[in-house]
Amino acid sequence: MAVRLYAASVLALDDCLLSVMDIPGVLDALVMDHLSGTVMASGGRGEAERSAPALGETLRVTMDALAGATHRGTVRIDDLIVIADDGYHLLHPVEMPFDGPLVIYVRLDLGRANLALARHQLSSITGRLRG
Amino acid sequence: MAAVHTLLTGLAREHATGSLNVPPAGKAYLREGRIAHLECPRTPSVERLLTAHGRAGGYSRAELEFCVAGAVLDAAYFLLPAELPAARPKFRPGECPRPDTRLEFELAWLVGECARRRAQLAQIWSSAELDDVPVTPAARLPGHRATVSALEWEILLSSDRVATPAELADRLGQPAYSVLLAVRRLAAAGLLVAPLMPRRRGRALDRAVPPALPQSDPNVLAAVKRALEELE
C-alpha cells in the first residue's frame, strides 16, 4: 500500500504512520496537525489526504457540540469513532508541547479489523510519540 | 515583483546548499535543494515555541520534530510570499542553520501548504482587518453562549488590548498562523472588536523586529538547544 511522507524527513512521524499502517484491517491512515489541517504523513489509497480538512472539521465540530452538551461545558476527546458503511473511522488526538493536537486518523475494514484491538494499538503507538 | 519562493525555487533546482538572507522578511537555509530551515521575525522560533511552555528538556524526538516542522511551516507562511527587495538577496553557500536539526522539507510542499492555509483563513473570515491590530475582546457576547477552543481562550485571556496577534503568538509560544486562525474564528463569532485607537496603519505589518518579549528561562533554553542538536 502506498505511503506518502510529505515533510520527507520528519522521521518520528513517518515511523508513527508506518506503525499505524501495520494495524490489522487498515485501509487509510493520516497524521495531521488539527489546528492548521496540515497533513504530515499519509498512507493507503490516497483518499484520506483529500478528506483531511473535513476530518479536522468533524473533530472540531464534535468537540464544540459535546462541550455544549455536557453538564461541565468542557470536553476532552480520547477517540472519535464513527462506524460507517465504508469502515470504522477513528480520530485520535495526541497533545503536543504547543499547538496541535496532532491527530491520527485511521479507516479500518469492517470485516477484517478488531476495533478494540485497533484502539489499543493506536494508544500504544501514540504513547511512544510522547515517550 | 517576484516573491521569495521564486528565488528559492531556482536555488532548489540547482540543488544548492547554503543560506539566503532576505531582510526584513527572514532567512532560508537549503540543503541540497531542500529546505533545511526557515526563520521569520514575525513568527516564534523553535526555541521560543519550546521554552514558552516551561518544560526543561524532556521532549521526545517526535515532539521536537513536530515542533521544528511547525515552526518551519509557520515561517514559510509569511516568508515565502514576501516580495523580494530591490537589492538581490545574498546567498551564502555552505551556511547551515544553528542548531541544525537535520530535518528537510520539499519547497513545493511548503508552497502548496501555504496556499491551502491562506484559503483556510479566508474561508473562516474573509476580512484581514483584525490580523495586525491589537486583539480586543468584545465587552459583551453577541449572543447567550459561545464555545471557544483552548487556544482561543488563551488569546482572550492574555489580550491586553495592545498586543497584536503576532505579539500574542510570541508571548504564548504558539505559531503565528495558529493565532491568526484563532483570531479570525473569534472575529467570525463576534467575540473581537476593532480597537478604538488603531495603531498607525501598516506599522505592525512592516515591523521587522518584534518588541521586547518575556525572556525565556536560560536553563530551559539551553536544555532545548541541546535537545535540538541531538536530533541528528
What percent of chain A is predicted at pLDDT more than 90?
56
Radius of gyration of chain B, Cα coordinates, nearest whole angstrom:
18
How far, rounded to the nearest angstrom, does the alpha carbon of residue A110 sit from its chain's CA centroid?
17
Q: In A1-131, which residue ranges form alpha helices assigned H by DSSP? A: 11-21, 47-50, 52-69, 115-130
pLDDT tens, position by position, B136-175: 999 999 999 888 999 999 999 999 999 999 999 999 999 9
A17, A99, A125: best to mutate for the B interface, most B CBs within 10 A? A99
A35/B120 touch (CB, cutoff 8 Å), yes or no: no
Domain count within chain A: 1
Binned at pLDDT 50, 70 and 90, residue A68 comes out as: confident
Residues of B28-46 as b/e, b for ≥16 C-beta within 10 angstroms? bbbbebbbbbbbbbbbbbb
Structural fold of domain B121-206: Arc Repressor Mutant, subunit A (1.10.10)
Higher pLDDT, B53 or B205: B53
B209 pLDDT above the threshold of 60? no
Binned at pLDDT 50, 70 and 90, residue B232 comes out as: low
Nearest residue of chain A to residue B57 (CA atoms): A97
Closest CB from A6, A68, A96 relative to B63 = A96
Binned at pLDDT 50, 70 and 90, residue B206 comes out as: very low
Q: How far is B87 from chain A (nearest CA, A)?
A: 31
Structural domain for A50, as ranges: 3-130
A100 pLDDT above the threshold of 60? yes
Q: What is the pLDDT of residue B25?
A: 94
Nearest residue of chain B to residue A67 (CA atoms): B147
DSSP state at residue B83? B
Q: What is the mean pLDDT of chain B?
A: 88
Of these ranges, B16-20, B50-54, B209-213, the one predicted with the greatest mean pLDDT is B16-20
pLDDT tens, position by position, B48-104: 988 887 666 678 888 888 889 999 999 999 999 999 988 889 999 999 998 888 889
pLDDT tens, position by position, B32-46: 999 999 999 999 999
Phi first, then psi: give them for residue B181, nearest 5 degrees.
Answer: -60, -45
Of these ranges, A3-12, A102-111, A121-130, the one predicted with the greatest mean pLDDT is A102-111
B13 pLDDT above the threshold of 80? yes
A131 pLDDT above the threshold of 80? no
Q: Which residues contact B151 (CB under 8 A, 6 or more apart)?
A: A35, A99, B172, B174, B178, B179, B182
Cα B58 from Cα B43, distance rounded (Å): 24
Closest CB from B117, B147, B177 relative to A64 = B147
Closest CA to B27 of B72, B86, B87, B94: B72
Q: What is the pLDDT of residue B100?
A: 83
Q: What is the pLDDT of residue A5?
A: 52
Question: How many beta carbons lie within 10 A of that of residue B4, not counting itself?
Answer: 23
Higher pLDDT, A5 or B153: B153
| Domain chopping of chain B, boundaries | 4-118+211-229, 121-206
Chain A residues touching chain B at CB-CB below 8 Å: 6-13, 16, 33, 35-38, 40, 53, 60, 63-64, 67-68, 96-100, 102, 128-131
Can you read off the three cell numbers belonging to residue B200? Answer: 498607525
B30, B49, B59, B65: best to mutate for the A interface, most A CBs within 10 A? B65
Q: Read off the CATH number of the domain in which A24 is found.
A: 3.30.450.30
Cα A13 from Cα A15, distance rounded (Å): 5
Q: How far is A38 from chain B (nearest CA, A)?
A: 7
Q: How far is A90 from chain B (nearest CA, A)?
A: 21
HSE-CB at B75 with a 13 A cutoff on CA atoms is 26
Residues of B165-188 as b/e, b for ≥16 C-beta within 10 angstroms? bbbbbbbbbbbbbbbbbbbbbbbe
Using DSSP's 3-state secondary structure scheme, residue B87 falls into coil
Using DSSP's 3-state secondary structure scheme, residue B21 falls into strand
Q: Which residues contact A70 (CB under 8 A, 6 or more apart)?
A: none
Question: How many beta carbons lie within 10 A of that of residue A15, not counting itself?
Answer: 17
A99/B50 touch (CB, cutoff 8 Å), yes or no: no
Nearest residue of chain B to residue A7 (CA atoms): B105
Binned at pLDDT 50, 70 and 90, residue A130 comes out as: confident
Binned at pLDDT 50, 70 and 90, residue B12 comes out as: very high
Q: Which residues contact B55 (CB under 8 A, 6 or more apart)?
A: A97, B220
Closest CB from A8, A13, A99 relative to B105 = A8
Using DSSP's 3-state secondary structure scheme, residue B29 falls into strand
